[in-house]
Structure 1
Amino acid sequence: MSTTTAPIVRHGRAGLAGQLSELGVEHSGVLLVHASMRAVGAVSGGVGAVVAALRDALGRRGTLVVPAFTPENSDTSPHYLDRVRGLTDRAREAVRASMPPFDAATSPAPSMGRLAEAVRLTEGAVRSGHPQTSFAALGPLARELMARHRPDCHLGEDSPLARLYDLRAQVLLLGTGFGTCTAFHLGEYRVPAPPRRSYRCVVAAGGRRRWWEYEDVALDDGDFADLGAEFARSDDGAAVRTGPVGASTSRLFRLTDAVDFASRRLPSYRGGAPVRPLCRAHG
C-alpha cells in the first residue's frame, strides 16, 4: 500500500506582504513585531523574505521594530538560573566568568527568535543601548526611537516602548501569543507604586568587563496570556485584529490600547500578592 506525502506549502514575500496589509499593518506606520518563524511556516527565501514582506507592507516611510533582549549576560535572569541548575559552585562561577559583556553592535539575541535576529543584523539597523532589554529598528524613525534608552530602565518611560506609545505604533504578534506582548510591561510601570527589585548583568566600562547591579520595576509576564485574552475580548473584540500570515494566526493591535488596558487591569490581576521576582525574557 503506497502513501503520499502532502507537498509543503511555501509562502512568498509578495503573498505575506499582502496578508499583512489585509490584517491592517499601516503603510508608513511604526510596527513592533514579536514573531515565531515556526508558526509562519515554510517561506521561499526564509526569514529574510519575512523581513522584506514586513518592510513592503510598511513602505519606505515605515519603521520596523523588534526586541533584541539579552538575558544571556545576566546572573539574575531565568536563563542563567536554568543554565546553572544542579551545577557545583565552581562550575557556576565558571559560567559567570564566561559571560561576555553587552555590546550593542555585536551581542546576539538568540532567545528573541530568528526574525528579531534577522532585523538586528540587517544593514542599517539601529539598536538601543540597554544591556538587557535593547530593541532594534529599521526605517526612517529607527535612530530617534532607539536613542536615550536609559540603562536602568528596562521597558518604562525612558525606553523605546514609551517612544512607540507616543507615536501610536502598532504591535504584531506574528504567530505568537500574548505571553510575549512586551507592550504590557510598559503598563507595569504605569500602575501606582509598582514593586521594584535588583538586576545584575555584565557590561563593558572603559574597555574592561565588569558586573553592574541596578534597580528597576519587577517585571513579571506570568499573567500576560490571561491579560491578553481579556484584552482581545475588550470593546467587543474591536481592539485586536486576527488573521492569517503564512501558516500562522496573527494578531494586530495599537500599542497604546494594550498599554492602557494593562495599566488599568494589572492591579486586579495581582491583587496585592507578591510579584514573582523573575520574568522569562529579562535579567
Structure 2
Amino acid sequence: MDATPPDQTALLARADGPVTRARLGDDLTALGLGEGDTVMFHTRMSAIGYVAGGPPALIGALRDVVGERGTLMVTCGWNDAPPYGFTDWPRPWQDAVRAGHPAYDPVVSEADHDNGRLPEALRRWPGAVRSRHPDVSFAALGAAATELTADHPWDDPHGPGSPLARLVALGGRVLMLGAPLETLTLLHHAEALADAPGKRFVEYEQPILEGGQRVWRRFRDIDSSDGAFDYSSVTPGGQDPFETIVRDMLAAGIGRRGRVGAADSHLFEAGEVLDFGLAWIQEKLGGAR
C-alpha cells in the first residue's frame, strides 16, 4: 500500500487540510485510545489525508496518546526473505541461494513493503525491538515492547506464545487507521487456535543467525498467505474472509468507529477480536464448540 506517492492536493482536500500531529492525537483520543494502552496498529497513510511529517508524525501522535506506560506494535515480516518455493528451483539455483542469501537480522532486515510505510518506520525507531522470527516478525516500542516480542516461537508463530497471543494476554487493543478490514492480523491467531477441519499448513526454509553464524532453519506455520482454511463456502464471492469476519464483528456491535484525519478508523479490544474470530471460524467451518 502507498507505494506511489498520491497527489498531495487530493490528500489535502480529502482531510480538509493538513493532518498535523496534534490533530491526529485529538482524533485518536476521541476514538478511544488512551494513556497506558498497548495497541497493535494497521495504517493506510493515504486514507488519512496529507499527514504533515508523514509516518514519524503519526508515530509521534500515537506515542503522545498512549504515553510512557503504553506500547505500540506492528507486523513487519521480512521484505527480502527467500521465496517459499525456491526449494523447487534447479539444484544449482538452490545452492546459490543457500550459499549467498543473507540471514534475517531483526536490526537491519527491512519490513515487508506490502505492509506499508509504518512498520519500517516503527522498527527503525530508537528503542524499538523486533521479534526473532524471520517470516512473521513483529516490532514494538514502549513499556511492554520486550514482553511482546521476546522468544517468538519458531514454529506456529501465530499461535501460543506469539506476540499476538501476548497482545491478548496484556489486554491490548487493535487500531485500524484507514487500513482495509482484511489486514486485521490478529485473526491469524484465531486461525492458529481454531479447532476446525481442513486447517492448512506450510513449511519453508529461511536463513537466520544463531550464535553469530548464518544457518538455514525449517519453519512450520498455518498458511497465512493462501488461507489457513477454505472459506469459499462461507464468504461472499470475491470478498476476503477476514473482511467478512470483521464486518460481522462490527455488525455485532464490537469495536469503536471514528475518523482519524479523513480515514474511517476502528478500535477493537484484542480479546474480543480473538473470541469472535475463533467462534466464527469454528461455527462456520464445523469446528469444536
> Given the two structures, how large is their TM-score scaled by the length of structure 2?
0.80
Report if aligned partners of 1:75, 1:96 keep a CA contact under 8 Å in 2.
Answer: no
CA shift digits 1:180-223 (9 cap, x unpaired)? 11111111122116443313223234544443222233332751
Distance 1:141 1:240 in 2: 23
1:261 maps onto 2:276 in alignment:
yes
Distance 1:50 1:91 in 2: 46
Q: Higher mean Cα deviation, 66-75 or 164-173?
A: 66-75
Distance 2:10 2:264 in 1: 21
Counterpart residue identity of residue 48, structure 2: V
Distance 1:43 1:215 in 2: 39
List runs of 5+ in structure 1 lacking aligned partners: 273-283
**1:79-98 residue pairs with structure 2 within 5 A?**
93=94, 96=97
* Structure 1 consecutive aligned stretches of length 4 or more whose deviation exceeds 6 Å: none
**1:128-139 residue pairs with structure 2 within 5 A?**
128-139=131-142
Distance 1:21 1:129 in 2: 32
2:118 counterpart residue number: 115
1:22 maps onto 2:40 in alignment:
no
Q: Deviation of residue 266 (structure 1)? A: 1.0
Q: Deviation of residue 91 (structure 1)? A: 10
Report if aligned partners of 1:70, 1:111 keep a CA contact under 8 Å in 2.
Answer: no
Q: Deviation of residue 72 (structure 1)? A: 3.3
**1:184-203 residue pairs with structure 2 within 5 A?**
184-192=187-195, 194-203=199-208
Q: Deviation of residue 59 (structure 1)? A: 1.5
List runs of 5+ in structure 2 lacking aligned partners: 1-8, 229-239
SS in structure 2 of the partner of residue 165 of structure 1: helix
Report if aligned partners of 1:10, 1:41 keep a CA contact under 8 Å in 2.
Answer: yes
SS in structure 1 of the partner of residue 80 of structure 2: helix
Report if aligned partners of 1:69, 1:133 keep a CA contact under 8 Å in 2.
Answer: yes
Counterpart residue identity of residue 227, structure 1: I
1:212 maps onto 2:227 in alignment:
no
Aligned CA distance change for structure 1 residues 95 and 13 (closer, same or farther; 3 Å) = farther
SS in structure 1 of the partner of residue 84 of structure 2: coil
Distance 1:91 1:18 in 2: 57
1:250 maps onto 2:252 in alignment:
no
Q: Deviation of residue 172 (structure 1)? A: 0.3
Report if aligned partners of 2:156, 2:192 keep a CA contact under 8 Å in 1.
Answer: no
1:227 counterpart residue number: 245
SS in structure 2 of the partner of residue 149 of structure 1: coil
Counterpart residue identity of residue 147, structure 1: A
Report if aligned partners of 1:66, 1:135 keep a CA contact under 8 Å in 2.
Answer: yes
The size of the alignment, in residue pairs, is 258
Percent same amino acid among aligned pairs? 36
CA shift digits 1:78-114 (9 cap, x unpaired)? xx89xx9xxx959965994664321011111023211
CA shift digits 1:132-187 (9 cap, x unpaired)? 11111111111111112112232111211111111110100111122111111111
Counterpart residue identity of residue 231, structure 1: M
